[in-house]
Amino acid sequence: MNITVIGAGSWGTAISGVAARRADKVTLWSHDIESRDGINERHVNPLYLSDYTLPENVVASCDYAEALDGADGIIVVVPSPFLRSTIHEAAAYIAPATPVLCLTKGIEAGTGKLMSEVVAEEIGHPERVAALSGPNHAEEICKGSLSAAVIASEQTEIAEFFKTLLISPEFRIYTTNDMVGIETCAAVKNVIAIVCGIAAGMGYGDNTLALIMTRGLAEISRVVSARGGDPMTCMGLAGMGDLVATCTSPHSRNRSFGVAFAGGESLDAYQQRTHMVVEGAAAALSCAQLARTLGVDVPITFALESALYKGVDKMQAMKVLLERIPTEEFYGINR
């Protein structure tokens, strides 16, 4: 079995190693020549997870035709701002029946589309597209640390194909058909994680972080409900599980950016310094746009949007949140 992974960042590198346990060959597509050469010559991605040695059956390519030739399954792990353009270029080399698993987390700005919907629009045959989410830091996955994820697909056989490929005693895989639920959770939790990082950087304690996380979970649930997903999904791995990991872990680039932002570092400076895309920053804009379209109240998201894109001081943005009068705890959720 030949598997192609599109995207050679941290998560793409880690999932390639996971897939290599069952696949005969994994081809990792990278836009960066340095990553390609490091993987092919030394089995190491010099730009991401550089202390992780990839299995020998993982190779890399910067050419779509070469990377996708003979692929029996495709895993997409491209940062959300570049997903559509990347898949648009790759689409000509993707066979109509090849199953595709999307690991990218986000909501597309302007359209409000989930990442699997973007992929399906570009390659066609949406029934063969699945999505994976969960509390999975690449730094721990590549070391074989016990982790779990959930795969969602409209077609059970597509979810089972990727479950069989990726499951192991160290990487537990569950399945669901609620693609809207798991992908919405995946996008909005990154926003909440940045705000947790800002709060931590400003000196707020554990009580405050717990408040932001739980009210953030309610906020995620309102968006999921409005989009037609199942609010119960928010209680699972893609919701509460990923929210806890992303809001509390030092591996989380979203939380880490929030801490840096509280200390005065800009988004551009942080991304240039770390060579990583802060998914929650893009999601703050697209999630806010989607919430307004749906008529959903997302005060934490609106506060981050105002601080990142509207020139509102972060102290003022926090003050707006604190001055809100508490109401019913679970308002706006279809139960």
Per-residue tokens: 319: 């003050």
At residue 333, the pLDDT reads: 83
Q: Which residues of 198-211 are buried (b: 16+ CB within 10 A; e: fewer)?
A: bbbbbebeeebbee
190 and 261 in a single domain? The answer is yes
Whether residue 254 lies inside any domain: the answer is: yes
Would residue 332 count as lying in a domain?
A: no
- 47 & 190 share domain: no
Q: Same domain, yes or no, for 140 and 223?
A: no
> Does the pLDDT value for residue 8 go beyond 80?
yes
118 and 224, same domain (yes or no): no
Same domain, 270 and 142: no
Per the structure, the count of domains in the chain is 2
Give the tokens for residue 4: 């192609």
Domain membership flag for residue 333: no
Q: What is the pLDDT of residue 192?
A: 96
Q: Is residue 56 part of a domain?
A: yes
Quick one: pLDDT at residue 10? 95
11: in domain: yes
Asked if residue 329 belongs to a domain, the reply is no
Task: Quote the pLDDT of residue 317.
Answer: 84
**Which residue out of 189, 310, 314, 319 is catalytically annotated?**
189
Are 43 and 127 members of one domain? yes
Integer Cα distance of 35 and 83 in angstroms: 19
Q: Are residues 207 and 135 in the same domain?
A: no
CATH number for the domain including 32?
Answer: 3.40.50.720
Q: Tell me, letter by letter, the H, E, C secondary structure of the chain.
A: CEEEEECCCHHHHHHHHHHCCCCCEEEEECCCHHHHHHHHHHCCCCCCCCCCCCCCCEEEECCHHHHHCCCCEEEECCCHHHHHHHHHHHHHHCCCCCCEEECCCCECCCCCCEHHHHHHHHHCCHHHEEEEECCCCHHHHCCCCCEEEEEEECCHHHHHHHHHHHCCCCEEEEEECCHHHHHHHHHHHHHHHHHHHHHHHCCCCHHHHHHHHHHHHHHHHHHHHHCCCCHHHHHCHHHHHHHHHHHHCCCCHHHHHHHHHHCCCCHHHHHHHHCCCCHHHHHHHHHHHHHHHHCCCCHHHHHHHHHHHCCCCHHHHHHHHHCCCCCCCCCCCCC
- Cα 216 to its chain centre, rounded Å, is 17
* pLDDT of 145 over the 90 cut: yes
Which has more pLDDT, 283 or 314? 283
Res. 335 pLDDT band, cuts 50 70 90: low
Name the pLDDT band for 322 (thresholds 50, 70, 90): confident
Query: Are both 190 and 290 inside the same structural domain?
Result: yes
Out of 123, 143, 177, pick the residue that ends a domain.
Answer: 177
Report percent pLDDT > 70 for the chain.
100
Query: Catalytic: 189?
Result: yes
> Is there a domain that residue 334 lies in?
no
Rounded to whole angstroms, the Cα distance separating 289 from 160 reads 34
- CATH code of 309's domain: 1.10.1040.10
Residues 147 and 226 in one domain: no
Q: Give the tens place of pLDDT for each residue, 92-124.
A: 999 999 999 999 999 998 999 999 999 999 999
Average pLDDT estimate for 185-191: 95
Shared domain for 166 and 46, answered yes or no, is yes
pLDDT of residue 131: 98
* Residue 331 in domain: no
pLDDT of amino acid 114: 95
Chosen domain end from 124, 157, 177? 177
Average pLDDT over residues 44-52: 96
Tell me, yes or no, whether 44 and 165 share the same domain.
yes
29 and 100 fall within a common domain: yes
**HSE, side-chain direction, 13 A CA sphere, residue 105:** 29
Q: Which domain holds residue 264?
A: 186-322
Which of 153, 177, 201 is the endpoint of a domain?
Answer: 177
Say if residues 118 and 78 touch (Cβ distance below 8 Å).
no
pLDDT exceeding 90 applies to what percent of the chain?
A: 90
